[in-house]
Amino acid sequence: MNGTSTLQVDLDAIARNVGLLRALCAPGVRFCAVLKADAYGLGARGVISTLKQAGSSMCAVFSPLEACELADFDIPLLVLMPVMAHDVPVELIEKARQGSLHFVVHDSTQMESLDSLGRRLEVRLPVHLKIDTGLHRGGCVPRDAVIIARSINRSRGLRLAGVMTHFARAASNEQFTSNQMRQLDSIVEHVSNELSPEVIVHASGTCGALRGSEYHADMVRIGLAWSGYLTPSATELERRLPEPLHPAVSWSSRLVLTRTIGEGERVGYGGDWMAKRPTRLGLVPVGYANGYPLEASSPKDGGPGLSVEFELGDGTQAMNAPVIGRVSMDQLMVDLTDLPDEIRQGTPVDLISRRPQSPCLLSGIARRLGRSPHSILVQINSRVERVHLRGLSRQSAGSKSAQEMELPVPNAVAG
């Protein structure tokens, strides 16, 4: 552990999750792994090879800058934001020339700009026409879709590679989702004579994919579920999987100080927490500047605050200690009073656990705070080291190689 904490990503768990999600789909349905925001803060370069090996035929990012980070990997990239020709950096030109950089067309103005880029490069850039069927967050209105699709087919600088939409309420409203799918199917049917067999029709994110095969079309776009997590509203849909997803993320640190205070003493800024008995405290060098939730001691469900986890003995058992007082910028306090004395300075501690049924699972933390797992992960500061694990090896998120580096997992700091 080079810093005060480490975010560990289990690559084997990711591979198993892709397999579980692909098992819901017919063999011909493609799998697109969404890697927005540096793979939701997990390190896109560290996970992309595993996703490809597990069956992802395409990866989606939001911006050209995110695409630049992954341009040297041999997998097509789909850029989701409305990109104009001047938005495409020179680092992406070769990937564009190779036809492995796909853009999403949202309106006719953007289409014309990308067409000019394709003509300058003397290639037909693959584009996916996005149709707004109810989310109202990008995409053309349905009445313009046929006109734009025909314009793309007539252009010299573009190739229609896909037709897509994005579901607005797939986790909670099947009727609305079904209506959106019908709109997309209707437009595809209207232009079917002009679509080549290679055109990919896609609509489903994770929740749409879980709803059933009628929403899968030619490809599903899977976001954070490949790492083992769903939004709290999608928990019921997870039951459609052959087995539960495997959590892939843990966030670990260590105790750097312990001390005992008396009954009635207060802890943290504002003195919000008061000891009701003689209390043994532990200090963990992680705070809200690292991305730990500021609201950890006052969750929205009104119950007790979050906790951290300590392994005991051979690692098959664990005990939890509650976070107490306000979370500070670089540190937080936990109550060790009910834990054995072996929990002392230098003992490793998990802020996020992969252990089944742990209250420190990311999904459980998200429910307690009334947030999505995505929002928690992306706020973990980039200064927190990302370590990608497979067995006893690790791959650095900053590695420029698609091959795994056979390096030992760093040992915990001894007390």
Give the CATH number, domain containing residue 23. 3.20.20.10
Q: What is the mean pLDDT of residues 237-264?
A: 95
pLDDT of 314: 66
What is residue 415's predicted lDDT score, i.e. its pLDDT? 24
Rounded to whole angstroms, the Cα distance separating 9 from 2 reads 16
Segment 137-150 shows an average pLDDT of 96
In a domain, 3, yes or no: no
Are 188 and 286 found together in one domain? Answer: no
- The percent of residues above 90 in pLDDT, for the chain, comes to 83
Is 19 a member of any domain? yes
Structure tokens given for 264? 């009635």
Return the pLDDT at 305: 87
The lowest-confidence range among 12-16, 160-164, 298-302, 405-409 is 405-409
Question: Does 368 reside within a domain?
Answer: yes
Domain end position, chosen among 195, 227, 259 = 227
Could you say which of 227, 262, 278 is where a domain stops?
227
Q: Taking 80 as the threshold, does the pLDDT of residue 402 lie above it?
A: no
Give a yes or no: residue 70 inside a domain: yes
Cβ contact 125:96 at 8 Å: yes
Within this chain, do residues 206 and 324 fall inside the same structural domain, yes or no? no
For residue 388, being part of any structural domain is answered with: no
* Average pLDDT of span 167-175: 95
Domain assignment present for residue 373? The answer is yes
Q: Tell me, yes or no, whether 209 and 273 share the same domain.
A: no
Mean residue pLDDT of the chain comes to 91
User: For residues 188 and 299, which has the higher predicted lDDT (pLDDT)?
Assistant: 188
Q: Do residues 62 and 209 share a domain? A: yes
In a 10 Å sphere around its CB, with 0-12 CB exposed, 13-18 middle and 19+ buried, how is residue 308 labelled?
A: buried
Q: Where in the sequence is the domain holding 335, given as residue range(s)? A: 249-380
Both 198 and 309 in one domain: the answer is no
Q: Residue 1: its pLDDT value, please? A: 59
If asked whether residues 221 and 334 sit together in one domain, one would say: no
Q: Are residues 117 and 214 in the same domain?
A: yes
More confident residue, 162 or 316: 162
Same domain flag for 263 and 312: yes
* Per-state percent for the chain, helix, strand, coil, to nearest 5: 30, 25, 45
CA proximity to 200, closest of 163, 159, 156, 237: 163
- Six-digit token pair at 313? 């003995």
Instruction: Give the pLDDT of residue 2.
Output: 67
Same domain, 15 and 80: yes
Confirm whether 353 is domain-assigned: yes
- The total of structural domains in the chain comes to 2
182-211: per-residue pLDDT in tens? 999 999 999 888 899 999 999 999 999 999
Taking a C-beta distance cutoff of 8 angstroms, is the pair 140, 132 a contact? Answer: yes
Tens of pLDDT, residue by residue over 17-49, are 999 999 999 999 999 999 999 999 999 999 999
In the chain, the percentage of residues whose pLDDT exceeds 70 is 91
DSSP states along 160-194: EEEEE---SSTTT-HHHHHHHHHHHHHHHHHTGGG
Q: What's the CA gap between 400 and 352, in Å, rounded? A: 27
180 burial type by CB count under 10 A (0-12 exposed, 13-18 middle, 19+ buried): buried
Q: Which long-range contacts (CB under 8 A, 24 or more apart) does 66-70 make?
A: 66/35, 66/36, 66/37, 66/38, 67/92, 67/95, 67/101, 68/92, 69/38, 69/44, 69/45, 70/35, 70/44, 70/45
For the ranges 151-160, 254-263, 398-407, which has the lowest average pLDDT? Answer: 398-407
Mean pLDDT of 60-83: 98
CA distance 205 to 210: 9
Q: Give residue 292's pLDDT.
A: 97
Q: Does residue 392 surpass a pLDDT of 50?
A: no
Q: Is residue 349 part of a domain?
A: yes
Q: What is the pLDDT of residue 409?
A: 30
Q: Are residues 96 and 210 in the same domain?
A: yes
pLDDT at 104 over 50: yes
Residue 394 pLDDT > 70: no
- What one-character-per-residue DSSP string does 327-390 give? --SS-EEEE-TTS-TTS-TT-EEEEEB-STT-TTBHHHHHHHHT--HHHHHTTS-TTSEEEEEE
> What per-residue confidence (pLDDT) applies to 413?
26
- pLDDT at residue number 412: 30
- Band of the pLDDT at 235, cuts 50, 70, 90? confident
The pLDDT of 386-413, averaged and rounded, is 47
